[in-house]
Amino acid sequence: DTGVSQNPRHKITKRGQNVTFRCDPISEHNRLYWYRQTLGQGPEFLTYFQNEAQLEKSRLLSDRFSAERPKGSFSTLEIQRTEQGDSAMYLCASSPWTGGAEGYTFGSGTRLTVV
Amino acid sequence: AQTVTQSQPEMSVQEAETVTLSCTYDTSESDYYLFWYKQPPSRQMILVIRQEAYKQQNATENRFSVNFQKAAKSFSLKISDSQLGDAAMYFCAYRKSNTGKLIFGQGTTLQVKP
């Protein structure tokens, strides 16, 4: 098991373009999370899945953001009509779910720059 | 809404000495979990230590220990015998029981001086 994998590592896009990121979690983890982190700040929750079901989505997330986890395996995060304010590190994490104090395993993130 | 506050943006410690990072949180829940995560520069975040709110005993993991004060809603991290590899940004985080959403503080950057 190679941990949580995120692709691409870096993405530079022009304002107004759509971008899609991929996250491959640890295979036996049934929960998957997306966070956004700007420089020098703590990660900000975006959404999370249990298997293929999206259980919660941040109210801070505009309609331009959508996430999927088909078949409960990998997940994609799409941002439509990107804006400069979308520039950030997008972190994916996964965890098992046993109803206890499970910690997340994070990926290395995808750094998005909108120019 | 639950919030997590780390009031120390930056801390420094001499190698081999002890440092304590502060964290306070606000919640009306009685059942929750608290975590400290470490994020080294340009590297992924890793879990340092976790605490269940229903446990009175403070968690320890080798050189890392916490001081959990439930009534005061305080959750500090103590790093003993600091090493150069401990230099990183440290995040305190809260999760309500039976949810997956983890709420992070703003982080504390720890510098370790040789």
Nearest CA-CA distance, residue A30 and chain B, Å:
11
Mean pLDDT within A78-94? 96
Q: Are B5 and B22 in contact (CB under 8 A)?
A: no
Q: Give residue-wise pLDDT tens across range B50-107.
A: 999 999 899 999 999 999 999 999 999 999 999 999 999 999 999 999 888 999 999 9
Q: Which two tokens stand for residue B108?
A: 């504390």
CB contact under 8 A, A42 and B100: no
Q: Which two tokens stand for residue A37?
A: 């982190």
Residue of B nearest to A106 (CA): B45
C-alpha to C-alpha distance for A2 and A71, rounded to whole angstroms: 20
pLDDT of res. A1: 54
3-state secondary structure of A72: helix
pLDDT of res. A29: 93
Higher pLDDT, A86 or A102: A86
Q: Are A59 and A8 in contact (CB under 8 A)?
A: no
pLDDT of res. B12: 97
Q: Rounded to a whole number, what is the distance in angstroms from the first to the last CA of chain B?
A: 41
- In chain B, at which residue ranges do the beta strands (DSSP E only) sit? 3-5, 10-14, 19-21, 24-26, 32-39, 46-52, 60-61, 64-69, 74-79, 88-96, 103-104, 108-113
Residue of B nearest to A54 (CA): B100
- Alpha carbon distances (Å) from A10 to A29, A112, B89: 25, 6, 21
Q: Does A31 touch chain B (CB under 8 A)?
A: yes
Neighbours of A20 (CB within 10 A): 14
Q: Give residue-wise pLDDT tens across range A41-76.
A: 999 999 999 999 999 999 877 789 999 999 889 999
Residue A97 has pLDDT above 90, yes or no: no
Q: Does A54 touch chain B (CB under 8 A)?
A: no
A44 forms beta bridges with A36
Mean pLDDT within B4-11? 97
C-alpha to C-alpha distance for A106 and A33, rounded to whole angstroms: 9
Interface with A, mutate which of B21, B103, B104 (most A CBs under 10 A): B104
Residue showing tokens 């953001």: A65
H or E segment to which residue A67 belongs = strand A65-68
Neighbours of B61 (CB within 10 A): 12
Per-window interface: B 56-75 vs A, CB < 8 A: none
Q: Are B17 and B80 in contact (CB under 8 A)?
A: no
Q: Give residue-wise pLDDT tens across range B90-106.
A: 999 999 998 889 999 99
Q: Does B107 touch chain A (CB under 8 A)?
A: yes
Q: Give residue-wise pLDDT tens across range B15-28.
A: 999 999 999 999 99
Contacts of A75 in chain B (CB under 8 A): none
Average pLDDT, chain A: 93
**Nearest CB neighbour to B35, from listed A45, A103, A107:** A103
Nearest CA-CA distance, residue B59 and chain A, Å:
12
Residue B2 has pLDDT above 80, yes or no: yes
Q: Does A56 touch chain B (CB under 8 A)?
A: yes
CB contact under 8 A, B50 and A103: yes
pLDDT of res. A11: 98
Nearest CA-CA distance, residue A51 and chain B, Å:
12
